[in-house]
Chains A and B, each alone.
Chain A
Amino acid sequence: MLTSPTATVAAPPKPLLTIEPRSGWVPLNLAEIWQFRDLLMGLAGRDVRLRYRQTALGVSWVVLQPLIAAGLFTFIFGMLAGMPGKKGLPVFVLIYCGMLGYNVFANTLSKAGICLVGNAQLVSKVYFPRMVLPLSTALSTLLDFAVASVILIALMIVYHVHIGWGLLLMPALLAVILILALGVGLWASALTVSYRDVQYVLPVLLQFAMYASPAAYTLSWVNDTLRPKHPHLVAAYMLNPLASLLEAFRWSWLGTGDLHWGWLAYSFAFSVVAFVLGCVAFRRMERRFADVI
């Protein structure tokens, strides 16, 4: 009945690929993601194109959104709460810079969280390394960051801020913020496949993270106000990995801030661990995506 020859070849060639059920730990397989790097760029390009094409103001939203937010927080924290400026820099510049760093985290995390459900059709009809989807969100965030930082550079020129050596550290800080966002985002996106309410939890979490981090205010203000009376509260505050990351990010641009290398090292370690755990969790849950989504 079978047409295939029954006689086996003396030395069967090695298969290019074997499909088998996997269990337990699944290796990360970075080589495969590298093979699909064009798709990574293509998906990021799609996100960017769609965002800029369908909006009336296009690219200006990327700039307007942090400008409006910084203006509002200048009113709240600078004018109402009385947060001081630093080194002759107005509060607005300090806050805009902090929001720039926070937005990298928030945009990556919120886009990564819904990327699997948003591309359910792709996930259930085509094979590609699933991790490409959340990773591509980081690329489109980077473009937004580049556009928004033009405004920061303009502000720095207006206020005569000299670019210091600290700026060399900025790419590394940016990378760590992205890694932290992706670590949480990978986990959140995989969980959203089974439980859709993750997408309602994320915005709440992000808002909490914004107020619990020195994005819209400075860390030195926290230290000056709280440390004398509540030293433990400040320590608890610093447990948030974004705290020292955002303050260091602001320092790298503007050359001012309470930099604590110990806490910064902690944040680096935290982010790397979060990323690794995120990848592991994603790979473990990945095999069910197509069946559940």
Chain B
Amino acid sequence: MPSTSHHPDPGVKRGRGVVVGILLASLLSVVASPATAQNQHSMAGMGDHPRIAIPPGALYTVADVTFLQGMIAHHAQAIHMSRMAARHQANAAVQRLAIKIEQSQVAEINIMQEWLARNGQFVPDTASWHTMQMSGMLTAAELQELDAASAGAFDRTYLTLMIQHHEGALEMVRDLFATAGAAQDVDVSVFANDVVTVQTAEIGAMRQMLSQLADQ
């Protein structure tokens, strides 16, 4: 019988296609990669991605493609942050939240990568967070602060930075929805709404957890 220990292997997939291979390799590399390779790319200048071409008749826009590409990096950094929790002996509630965020966002990265691949767009891997700086994402200094936090201080730092991180994701969705013609593709629209719903709820839960830390 499976136990309740949480060591999901997000890369175990029986599916076909190159995406799966990239995902497997890169998710594993998230754990091992140093947290210092960030650069200061803005959302507008997303590194070395190929120019985005929208096929005639498509319902999606450049904004949809850049949103998903950027959100892959955004999620990948959240997973990187969350995988620190066990190592830093976070309290049980924070560890469970971290596992939940990891499992949720691994699944969402799959969805985003599948959409981009299906539509013939460039598919960032999960190492992309090293080279992309989306809103709410931690700077190299903030990541260092998190990784250097003592066992007692980690919980507060993690929750505070993850709230910031989530609020950045909400801002990315707001920017997407504010772009004329964007998010009409139903997959993008459903996904973006899910991000808002889930991360809004998680921000509420994290604020609650922070206030409980403050009580101690």
A binds B: no
Residues of A bordering B, CB below 8 Å = none
